Structure formats: C-alpha cells, structure tokens
Amino acid sequence: MNNGAVKVNEVGSTEATELTEKVQAFINALLKTRNITPNAVQEQMLTSHVRAMAHRSLTGEPLPEVEESLFDEISADSLEMAKQVVEQFGNLPIEEAWLLSVHFEVAKDNL
C-alpha cells in the first residue's frame, strides 16, 4: 500500500486551498477599493474560478486555447485587476487574466 501518494494528494489539496484563500483575500481587497460587490452567484463563480486557477498554478495543467479577441469589450480596469490577480500566482499565462476579467466586468454592473 502506498500511503505516500495519499499524503501527497492531501498536501496538494491543502496547498491549493491555502493558495485559493490567499488569492481570494487579495481579490476581495481589490474589489473593495473599487466599490465592486459581486452578488452571491458571482462570488461563487469567482471562487470556483480562483480554485481552478490555483489548481493549474500548482499542477502546470494548461488552459485550453483562448482567443484574445473574445475579450475586446472588457474594460481596461477589469483587465488590469485580473492581471494583478494572476500575478499573485506567479506562473500563469495572460489568458488566465482575460478569463478572470469577465468576472470583474460582470460584477461592475451591480453598481
């Protein structure tokens, strides 16, 4: 029986959870400075996305190919916030920011 593998999975899971919580706290502070308040559904979707980003950051799993032109209508502010969040991970591609920016853009409509 290989208990080591189970231990690694548990550690990886803990690491992903801690990374998710750290980045989520960063996002919450970022949104607060801009008076953006996601509703409950938006918050849940954002948290799910951040959890997936943490997983990709830790495992190196790539995103499917993303077309930049799909994000032409995202504001510069939302994209800048997303880039700041992606920088927290330190190893994710710019495409992650494009996808994440949609969450911020949608939440702005709550104002």
| Euclidean distance between CA atoms 77 and 75, whole angstroms | 5
How far are the Cα atoms of 15, 56, 100, 102, 109 from residue 36, in angstroms, in the given order? 28, 26, 15, 13, 9
Q: Is the pLDDT assigned to residue 2 strictly greater than 90?
A: no
Task: Copy the structure tokens of residue 43.
Answer: 């918050």
The structure's pTM equals 0.86
| Euclidean distance between CA atoms 57 and 89, whole angstroms | 7
| Euclidean distance between CA atoms 51 and 73, whole angstroms | 25
pLDDT single digits (tens) 22-71? 999 999 999 999 999 999 999 999 999 999 999 999 999 999 999 999 99
